[in-house]
Structure 1
Amino acid sequence: MLLRYFMRRGIQHSDAQDLSQDVFLRMARHGSLEDLDSVENYLFTAAANVARDLFRRNKVRSDNPAAGFVEEVQVTQDFSPERQLGSRQELDCILAALNEMPERMRTIFILARLENMPRAEIAVRLGVSKRTVEQTITRATACLADRRGRVT
């Protein structure tokens, strides 16, 4: 019944099989079906929802094609020794700048920029205001930019 239901809506057989499994998974998660007025109504409501989810996913995928994505993300330039040396020198510069910062500034910067911790959470963790965290991040970023400017 479910396969026919999905296939009548233009869904390929292999996808219809997967969607049928999803419907039964939803039914299994629901638990006891005795409290339902009509198991068949629940079954087809779940099927309609699963099909709607598939159509939404397909629309998002067609609106945002992945063609060219790998090429945009993947680095295709070769890693020449000069490039590797330059990158290593820049990393050393950043590490030196971080080590020159006061401990609290360095900690706030690392939590915010490298750990992606929310500003409010950093403030609570360190016992400072959110404004202090934001100002410290700004100063730390300026220190890094200044250090980088002195080296290049």
Structure 2
Amino acid sequence: MPAESSRGLESVYRLHRGELLRFLTARTGDPGEAEDILQEVWFRLHRSADAPVANARAYLFRVAQNLVVDRLRERQRRMKRERLWLEEHAATAASGETLDPGRNAEEALLEKEETGLLAAAVETLPEGARRVFELHKQEGLSHAEVAMRLGISKSGVEKHMAVAMKYFRRALLD
């Protein structure tokens, strides 16, 4: 079989593209990654010199397999780096240095805004719903305990809580 140039490799690539894709999908387990590697095979063909290749199909599959191995090695290196970083920072935290486990500034700002909206909503609640809400949520009493303290039924407590929740949903969604 005569040696093939890069132009011949392109035609062999087109001929075996589907087979290469199945090969790569089987090797990686990820159709998206297989497509990426297939595209990289294509680029390698275009960047390669016009050196003759004795068996174009075997060459294409070898290039594809080498790219799969390269990606696997890179993934392993990245995982090792991340593991070492986590171990280092866990050791730093254990040594007494504090790491900030808190939320980022945006999350803190959003929480503060929601808290303000809820506080305003509590102020606008009807008197009965506000009292039930404060006893249940702020003082931690059960529905039965709230009912006994206010002299209403447990069903009445549940209805007042439903009214309060309706006000809160409206306050947060509007």
TM-score (norm 1): 0.45
Greater Rg by CA: 2
